[in-house]
């Protein structure tokens, strides 16, 4: 049996530090059959002593020594961010309440996610956590009346429906205890389950919820990507716990089973070339990877995130998840990062074994998730990797006059002069000025870097990370705040307030309310507000409780 570095850290350090078992948690369990994912790829289950050691492990920094002055500064910042959210919510409430999104510039509603109120549902936990309870309960009444069979004239994006709607409803239920949210989560999940009615049980990207007919996002094709098929694990696992119905968990885990069975590194005809680095392009009918392109940014990101976080959510029982994560993160460290000429360690795009120095903003989730897992299992080596990746991600924001980061950059690798020589002249000029080129120079209110800074602040207690979050917030205020809400900015290399002209992108997706504002606020809220030892965040920043014991049955 191969034991990865993360497994060694758990078996060694954590076992050595094990103390008496923790108090019993409330359990949702009943007797039932064993479920998928409990055994690793060698057919072995988790070591009971290791599980007990992990259940005792804490990751959040002890903030009890905070000075009164620091506490006041932190709370003042939290209040300022809450006021910013109130400004955005007031615009949504006034011009688009119950709509999927607000068109801020035209002060009008937009239907982008079937008309089920994506912004409202996605923001439920933000309302609760910010103590905007009157707004939360008003939203609850809206949710209670939703009819998920009315599709707003649109096909349903199955992946987005899961992370925005189902995740939002589950989190609202666990925070408030109101069963309406659980009922609606079950109802909506059952509506999208026909997407899994395919030869291998792999979900279609799109679904007609009135007919139950699925399709690819590209008409006439059967293509999908790694993130879209692999980002159901957390929500479906928790739904199975609450309903005592393993169907949901099994559907999500079957995706992994099929992927592993149909693609082997040892197969010379397979596009799966590097152990643990799974290609992002996938055919859902054959179950095979259709390219050799591997990437931890858009198209792959939340698959890897869910390997790790579902393992935590399962009370450390889903051994296959951590087995795969361990292999993936080791290959990521070896093949998917490179040092730039400016001295920063950036993630990149790997096609087969060829590295491309390109990183989109989605890769900024990596430091937070990696830091969390590394702290949990006691791996200093990988925690340092997380810190280094966070430095590179922050540099993309910090070097911009706007204090905001581009959607995507290219960088020049140390000792690889061809990266620079092959660039167009405008890109070379940016590399000379910033250390990277802005391939997509806009900022669309995305949360990933703020998310990782929040994690690192909560994990280490270092004020540096909180101050960086505050700097980004000030950049959002200068460049994205307009009457009625917030919008994207077209060029992060220009500070709109300093220039006197706002060059905006009229886009305000629901994740701005659900993720960006939540991580901004929680960085400065009281530290026990969603403690990392008690909650796990989904990819859409919906906190799910760790209080439920799991023994392998639903």
Residue 4 DSSP code: -
CA angle at 314 for the pair 193 and 455, rounded to the nearest 5°:
100
How far is residue 309's CA from residue 456's CA, in Å, rounded to a whole number? Answer: 16
Tell me the torsion sign for CA atoms 397, 402, 407, 410. negative
Give residues with Cβ within 8 angstroms of 183, minimum separation 6. none
Q: Helix, strand, or coil here: 277?
A: strand
Q: What are phi and psi of 248, to 5 degrees?
A: -65, -50
Of 235, 301, 327, 496, which is the active-site residue? 301
Q: Token pair of 115, please? A: 């008309």
Mark whether 101 is an active-site residue. Answer: no
Q: Token pair of 392, please? A: 């590179």
Q: Which of 240, 223, 330, 242 is nearest to 280 (CA)?
A: 223
Mark whether 301 is an active-site residue. Answer: yes
Name residue, tokens 């055994």.
Answer: 39
Mark whether 235 is an active-site residue. Answer: no
Q: What are phi and psi of 510, to 5 degrees?
A: -60, -25
Q: What is the CB-side half-sphere exposure of residue 293 using CA atoms within 13 A?
A: 14
How far is residue 525's CA from residue 174's CA, in Å, rounded to a whole number? Answer: 20
Write the DSSP assignment of 156-221 as a string of letters.
EEHHHIIIIIIHHHHHHHHHH--HHHHHHHHHHHHHHGGGG-STTSPPPSEEETTTTEEE-SSTT-
Mark whether 407 is an active-site residue. Answer: yes
Q: Which of 101, 97, 104, 105 is nearest to 113 (CA)?
A: 101
Q: Token pair of 463, please? A: 């004020």
Residue 165 contacts residue 121 (beta carbons within 8 Å): yes
Q: Which of 508, 529, 486, 462 is nearest to 78 (CA)?
A: 529
Of 100, 174, 360, 448, which is the active-site residue? 448
Provide the β-strand partners of residue 379.
Answer: none
SS3 per residue for 334-368: HHCEEEECCCCEEECEEECCEEECEEEHHHHHHHH
Residue 305 contacts residue 369 (beta carbons within 8 Å): yes
Write the DSSP assignment of 411-441 as a string of letters.
E-BTT-THHHHTS-HHHHHHHHHHSEEEEE-
Name the pairing type of β-strands 408-411 and 436-440.
antiparallel
310 assigned ligand-binding residue = no
Which residue numbers belong to the known binding site?
A: 539
Which residue numbers belong to the known binding site for Ca(2+)?
A: 539
Active site residues: 160, 301, 407, 448
């Amino acid at each position: 049996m191969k034991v990865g570095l993360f497994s060694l850290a758990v078996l060694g350090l954590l076992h050595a530090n094990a103390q008496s078992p923790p108090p019993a948690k409330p359990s949702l369990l009943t007797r039932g059959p064993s479920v998928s994912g409990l055994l690793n790829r060698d057919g072995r289950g988790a070591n009971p002593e290791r599980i007990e050691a992990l259940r005792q492990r804490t990751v959040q920094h002890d903030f009890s020594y905070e000075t009164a002055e620091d506490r006041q500064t932190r709370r003042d910042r939290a209040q300022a961010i809450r006021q910013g959210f109130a400004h955005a919510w007031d615009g949504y409430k006034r011009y688009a309440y119950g709509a999927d999104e607000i068109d801020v510039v035209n002060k009008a509603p937009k239907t982008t996610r079937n008309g089920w109120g994506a912004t409202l549902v996605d923001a439920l936990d933000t309302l609760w956590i910010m103590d905007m309870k009157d707004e939360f309960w008003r939203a609850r009444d809206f949710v209670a009346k939703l009819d998920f069979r009315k599709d707003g004239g649109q096909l349903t994006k199955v992946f987005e429906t899961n992370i925005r709607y189902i995740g939002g409803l589950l989190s609202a239920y666990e925070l408030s205890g109101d069963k309406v949210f659980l009922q609606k989560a079950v109802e909506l999940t059952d509506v999208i389950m026909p997407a899994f009615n395919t030869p291998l049980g792999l979900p279609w990207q799109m679904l007609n919820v009135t007919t139950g007919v699925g399709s690819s996002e590209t008409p006439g094709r059967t293509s999908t990507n790694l993130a879209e098929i692999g980002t159901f694990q957390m929500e479906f696992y928790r739904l199975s716990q609450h309903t005592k119905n393993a169907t949901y968990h099994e559907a999500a885990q079957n995706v992994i089973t099929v992927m592993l069975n149909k693609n082997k590194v040892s197969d010379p005809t397979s596009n799966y070339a590097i152990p643990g680095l799974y290609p992002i392009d996938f055919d859902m009918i054959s179950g095979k990877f259709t390219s050799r392109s591997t990437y931890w940014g858009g198209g792959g990101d939340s698959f890897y995130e869910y390997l790790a976080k579902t393992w935590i959510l399962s009370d450390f029982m889903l051994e296959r998840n951590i087995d795969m994560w361990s292999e993936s993160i080791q290959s990521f460290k070896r093949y998917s990062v490179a040092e730039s000429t400016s001295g920063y360690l950036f993630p990149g795009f790997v096609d087969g074994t060829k590295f491309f120095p390109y990183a989109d903003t989605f890769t900024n989730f990596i430091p937070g998730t990696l830091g969390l897992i590394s702290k949990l299992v006691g791996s200093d080596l990988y925690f340092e990797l997380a810190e280094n990746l966070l430095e590179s991600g922050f540099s993309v924001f910090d070097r911009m006059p706007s204090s905001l980061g581009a959607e995507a950059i290219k960088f020049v690798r140390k000792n690889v002069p061809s990266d620079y020589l092959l660039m167009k002249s405008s890109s070379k000029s940016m590399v000379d000025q910033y250390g990277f080129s802005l391939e997509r120079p806009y900022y669309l209110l995305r949360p990933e870097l703020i998310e990782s800074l929040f994690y690192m602040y909560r994990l280490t207690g270092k004020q540096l990370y909180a101050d960086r979050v505050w700097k980004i917030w000030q950049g959002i205020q200068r460049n994205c705040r307009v009457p009625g809400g917030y919008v994207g900015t077209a060029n992060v290399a220009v500070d709109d307030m300093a220039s006197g002209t706002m060059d905006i992108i009229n886009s305000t997706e629901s994740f701005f309310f659900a993720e960006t504002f939540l991580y901004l606020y929680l960085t400065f809220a009281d530290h026990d507000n969603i403690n990392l030892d008690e909650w796990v965040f989904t990819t859409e920043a919906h906190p799910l409780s760790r209080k439920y014991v799991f023994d392998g049955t639903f």
